[in-house]
Amino acid sequence: MSDESRPSPTETSAGTSVETSAEVSAEASAADRPHARTAAVIPAAGRGVRLGPGAPKALRALGGTPMLIHAVRAMAASNGVSLVVVVAPPDGAGEVKSLLDAHSLPERTDFVVVPGGETRQESVRLGLDVLPPEYDIVLVHDAARPLVPVDTVDAVIDAVREGAPAVVPAVPLADTVKQVEPAAVPGEPEPVVATPERARLRAVQTPQGFDRATLVRAHGTVTDDVTDDASMVEQLGLAVVVVPGHEEAFKVTRPLDLVLAEAVLARRRLNDGF
């Protein structure tokens, strides 16, 4: 924005600029808007290098249905979510639109598809760019977490509605974690630098939920490479809170994760049958 178009301080209550409304809402947050509308942005533009050769990860099948469709349904399953923005592989927006048309999805939810970028961060930003103004709460959810239960989605939305500018679902760790000095050559022994107390660590998942203006400001300000959106809000000095995640919200990253995801789906089908 040019300085000329920047509203004077007396005009800021009108919320005429993204930057201004971000500042207001970082303090007030979505808590003052209990009926705030929620949109979900689903970054799905990654290749899935760690999963091995094949189609882009989000388009690979799980139980015969593309992973992305599972993720879209998981977001649309929440009554609080009325718009889902899918950030497609850069050259795959048409294919993703066709996929959404070909699968049954809730009618009360709107769907938008945009092409993604080189990094996850860029893909999320491209999704945020197309959000209509009436959405005050944004979820960011990895397409690679197709099986997150609706209760987790709702818990994240509720926490944002209750006033947190940024909310992440997370689970305790099973393994002890060591900080190391990474070896120059993969496979070489790596010196241990520290062992953080496991009980204080959490593995974070998605959907992460945000006051929309706060997230937009974070994406406009933080340029460091990050692996989640909440850490950008932390860098702004704002509070981020954790709510309980779910073991089924794991990220499909490596081939073994596909085996686990198929098993979870099979268990759900079995349970639905009774």
Cα–Cα dist 68/214, whole Å: 26
Q: Which of 60, 97, 246, 251 binds ligand CTP (CB under 6 A)?
A: 251
CA dihedral 213, 215, 218, 220 (to 10 degrees): -70
Which of 36, 75, 85, 87 contacts ligand CTP by CB under 6 A? Answer: 87
Under rule CB under 6 A, residue 75 binds ligand CTP: no
Q: Residue 212, interface with ligand CTP (CB under 6 A)?
A: no
Q: How far is the CB of 173 from ligand CTP (least distance, A)?
A: 18
Choosing from 3, 101, 107, 118, the residue that interacts with ligand CTP (CB under 6 A) is 118
Stretch that binds ligand CTP, among 46-54, 131-139, 176-184, 236-244 (CB under 6 A): 46-54
| Minimum separation from the CB atom of position 67 to ligand CTP (A) | 8
Cβ-based nearer residue to ligand CTP, 20 or 121: 121
If the CB atoms of residues 30 and 51 are measured against ligand CTP, the closer one turns out to be 51
Report residue 167 as tokens.
Answer: 């909310």
Binding at 48: pick from Mg ion, ligand CTP, none (beta carbon under 5-8 Å per type): ligand CTP
Which lies closer to ligand CTP via its Cβ, residue 44 or residue 85?
44
The upper half-sphere exposure of residue 44, i.e. CA atoms within 13 Å in the direction of its Cβ, equals 32
Residue whose CB is less far from Mg ion, 43 or 80: 43
The residue range among 41-49, 144-152, 161-169, 186-194 that interacts with Mg ion, by the rule CB under 5 A, is 41-49
Cis status of the peptide bond prior to 133, with omega within 30 of 0 = no
70 within 8 A of 142, measured Cβ to Cβ: no
| Long-range Cβ contact pairs of 106-112 (< 8 A, separation 24 or more) | 106/76, 106/77, 108/82, 109/76, 109/81, 109/82, 109/83, 109/84, 110/82, 110/83, 110/84, 111/72, 111/83, 111/84, 111/85, 111/86, 112/83, 112/84, 112/85, 112/86
Q: Whole-number minimum distance, CB 46 to Mg ion, in Å?
A: 5
256 part of the interface to ligand CTP, by CB under 6 A: no
* Beta bridge mates, 209: 139, 167
